[in-house]
């Protein structure tokens, strides 16, 4: 007969535990490490989202730049390089959401749901990794475009605007991915829905050309998209200190105010989608 | 250790999956929840493991109310799920460490427990491989090992051997049996393999259509069917045959049928006498045999087709 020994057995109920905050932080980091390990074990999740934007930024954007005459003081190659970031972040987040579908269908989600942790931490753990991976991919994209000849006009403040916009946008996009991953029944259907969410808005959000060049109806729609604000902020931060993209949205003269307003819009979207994601997660996790 | 009072669950749309069940599981006891598919076993386990919200009644694990103190209730319990629930891309060890961390087990203690338990469970050789490369039996062993890492006061085993081949199933039963002998934790096991319940459980509750229809030790439940049963496979309508047998006082109210097979508990007389009487009635049968009653008989009588008036 086998013998199950518990050399250090102690009653679970009487175990001394750290404070709740420390406990939650530790659980969050554990969940994030798990998600990172799962993502790392599937390089496809990291490299596929990067491939298309990278190809666009390194091959198509420079080719287009040779055809299009830039506005004075504006390098179209760099303009497109930043525009490509607006494709990369949604794709990276959507692919991260695919991991949630797998977790739900055949992974360890039920185990996580029976863990003595606040369940929202499961979403936050995934979110943390999605934002981190998006950030790394964004860094790789910008480095590659810089090496390919893009000229960034970066200051500490400008980088701050860029990071704030990219970070909040990643939160918003991952939250949308989390909502979809919890609502859409199968991986196939999820993948089928990705282009509508991650790619279609990119065409009208000022990624390839200013939204002022769109028909009036589409311009109004573009102004409501978080990506439009994100791209305007990114360009304001890294390329165009005059904030042409922000002016197209707000029509004001004070660029700092416009940047603050666009940041507020992106933050609001991030909070809205995150709250919705947590709500949908709770509803699907507990019946 | 587990106290369940009038626990009920009605899903949106009005489906009443569990209709106010009551039971209590004592510390150290192995308690079986038996029932056919859709009887309410999984919903009951779901409510006890806080993944399903009860709509009525309450339940406590080690004194913690599962609805009002769900985290505390989860802290003292672990679950082995019906379907494999593992991170297949991660190694077995990583899966165990993850559980230990989420249950706030001290890392040093966790490492020692993992070392000990993987050897006992016979997965020491594969523990550092991705779970995707494990066999079905190894995954099950890993899941049970994982549930024990946090040394739970209450262990839920939801159909732990379903889908496994016979050899692995019996190996796992040995393992669970050993756990029962070596640990003082309380175990709630759901299964529809009656031999498992008979072998492992101190007491069983039979659940049917959301209600507990019997609750006792396997021995006591078996005693309710007498010392022997006759199994009779008939060619014609079993209800007609049953009526005939009753009119001749061969069958009692506790006789039941599943398909074309009648199971007749023997209360009086010998099996030989009863079989001779049946033979005299010229009932068209394809098979007739006698055997001691099993928990299957109890289960089928209570949850299967009941012909008893």
Nearest-neighbour CA in chain B from A2: distance (Å): 6
Determine which of B18, B51, B155, B185 to mutate to test the interface with A (most A C-beta atoms within 10 Å).
Answer: B51
> What is residue B28's predicted lDDT score, i.e. its pLDDT?
87
Partner residue facing A107 (CB), from B87, B112, B148: B87
The SS3 assignment for A119 reads: coil
Structure tokens at A101: 């579908």
- CB-CB under 8 Å, B183 with A4: yes
What's the rounded Cα separation, in Å, for the pair A11 and A13? 5
Q: Which of B175 and A145 is assigned the larger pLDDT? A: A145
> What is residue B309's predicted lDDT score, i.e. its pLDDT?
32
Instruction: Dump pLDDT digits (tens) for B204-223.
Output: 998 888 999 889 988 888 88
- CB-CB under 8 Å, B77 with A41: no
Structure tokens at B99: 């559980």
Percent of chain B with pLDDT strictly greater than 70: 97
> What is residue A1's predicted lDDT score, i.e. its pLDDT?
41
Structure tokens at A28: 């969050």
Determine which of B27, B52, B54, B104 to mutate to test the interface with A (most A C-beta atoms within 10 Å).
Answer: B104
Cβ-contact A203, A231 below 8 angstroms: no
- CB-CB under 8 Å, A114 with B50: yes
Confidence of residue A69 (pLDDT cuts 50, 70, 90): low
Which domains does chain B possess? 2-220 (3.40.50.300), 224-303 (3.30.70)
Pick the range with the lowest mean pLDDT from A6-15, A246-255, B126-135. Answer: A6-15
Query: What number is the average pLDDT over the span B21-27?
Result: 93
CB-based contact, B101 to chain A, within 8 Å: yes
pLDDT exceeds 90 at position A179: yes
> What is residue B306's predicted lDDT score, i.e. its pLDDT?
41
Confidence of residue A12 (pLDDT cuts 50, 70, 90): very low
Partner residue facing A38 (CB), from B50, B89, B181: B89
Q: Which residue of B has its CA nearest to A119?
A: B71
- CB-CB under 8 Å, B112 with A26: no
Q: Which of B285 and A175 is assigned the larger pLDDT? A: A175
Q: What are phi and psi of B58, to 5 degrees?
A: -150, 165
Query: What number is the average pLDDT over the span B280-285?
Result: 79
* Spans of all domains in chain A: 25-285
């Amino acid at each position: 007969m086998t013998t199950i020994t518990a050399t250090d057995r102690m009653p679970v109920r009487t175990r001394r535990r750290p404070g709740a905050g420390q406990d939650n932080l530790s659980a969050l980091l554990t969940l994030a490490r798990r998600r990172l390990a799962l993502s790392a074990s599937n390089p496809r999740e990291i490299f596929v989202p990067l491939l298309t934007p990278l190809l666009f930024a390194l091959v198509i954007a420079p080719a287009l730049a040779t055809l299009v005459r830039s506005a004075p003081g504006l390098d179209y190659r760099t303009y497109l390089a930043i525009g490509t970031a607006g494709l990369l972040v949604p794709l990276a987040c959507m692919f991260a959401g695919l991991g949630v579908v797998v977790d739900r269908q055949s992974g360890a989600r039920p185990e996580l749901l029976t863990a003595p942790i606040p369940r929202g931490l499961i979403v936050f753990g995934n979110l943390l990794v999605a934002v981190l991976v998006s950030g790394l991919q964004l860094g790789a994209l910008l480095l590659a475009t810089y090496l390919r000849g893009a000229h960034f006009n970066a200051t500490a403040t400008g980088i701050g605007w860029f990071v704030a916009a990219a970070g909040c946008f990643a939160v918003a996009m991952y939250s949308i991915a989390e909502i979809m991953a919890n609502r859409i029944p199968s991986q196939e259907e999820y993948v089928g829905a990705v282009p509508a969410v991650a790619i279609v808005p990119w065409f009208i959000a000022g990624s390839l050309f200013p939204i002022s060049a769109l028909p009036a109806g589409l311009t109004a729609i573009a102004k409501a998209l978080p990506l439009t604000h994100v791209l305007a902020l990114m360009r304001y931060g890294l390329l165009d200190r005059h904030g042409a993209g922000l002016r197209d949205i707000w029509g004001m003269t004070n660029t700092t105010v416009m940047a603050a307003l666009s940041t507020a819009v992106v933050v609001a979207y991030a909070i809205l989608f995150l709250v919705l994601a947590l709500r949908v997660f709770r509803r699907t996790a507990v019946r | 250790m587990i106290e369940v009072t009038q626990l009920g669950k009605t899903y949106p749309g009005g489906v009443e999956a569990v209709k106010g069940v009551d039971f209590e599981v004592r510390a150290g006891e192995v308690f079986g929840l038996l029932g056919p598919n859709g009887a309410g076993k999984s919903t009951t386990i779901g409510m006890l493991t806080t993944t399903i919200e009860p709509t009525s009644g309450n339940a406590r694990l080690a004194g913690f109310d599962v609805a009002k103190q769900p985290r505390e209730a989860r802290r003292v319990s672990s679950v082995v799920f019906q379907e494999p629930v593992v991170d297949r891309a991660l190694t077995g060890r990583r899966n165990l460490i993850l559980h230990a961390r989420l249950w706030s087990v001290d890392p040093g203690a966790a490492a020692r427990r993992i070392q000990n338990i993987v050897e006992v469970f016979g997965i020491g050789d594969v523990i550092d491989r991705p779970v995707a490369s494990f066999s079905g039996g190894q995954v099950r062993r890993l899941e049970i090992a994982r549930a024990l890492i946090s040394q739970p006061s209450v262990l839920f085993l939801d159909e732990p051997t379903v889908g496994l081949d016979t050899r692995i199933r019996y190996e796992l039963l040995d393992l669970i049996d050993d756990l029962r002998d070596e640990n003082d934790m309380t175990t709630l096991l759901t299964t529809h393999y009656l031999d498992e319940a008979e072998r492992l459980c101190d007491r069983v509750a039979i659940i049917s259509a959301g209600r507990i229809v019997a609750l006792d030790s396997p021995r006591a439940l078996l005693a309710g069917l007498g010392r022997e049963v006759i199994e009779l496979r008939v060619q014609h309508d079993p209800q007609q045959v049953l009526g005939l047998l009753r009119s001749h006082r061969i069958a009692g109210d506790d006789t039941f049928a599943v398909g074309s097979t009648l199971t007749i508990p023997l209360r009086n007389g010998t099996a030989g006498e009863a079989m001779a009487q049946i033979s005299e009635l010229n009932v068209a049968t394809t098979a007739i045999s006698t055997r001691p009653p099993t928990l299957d008989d109890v289960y089928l009588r209570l949850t299967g087709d009941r012909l008893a008036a």
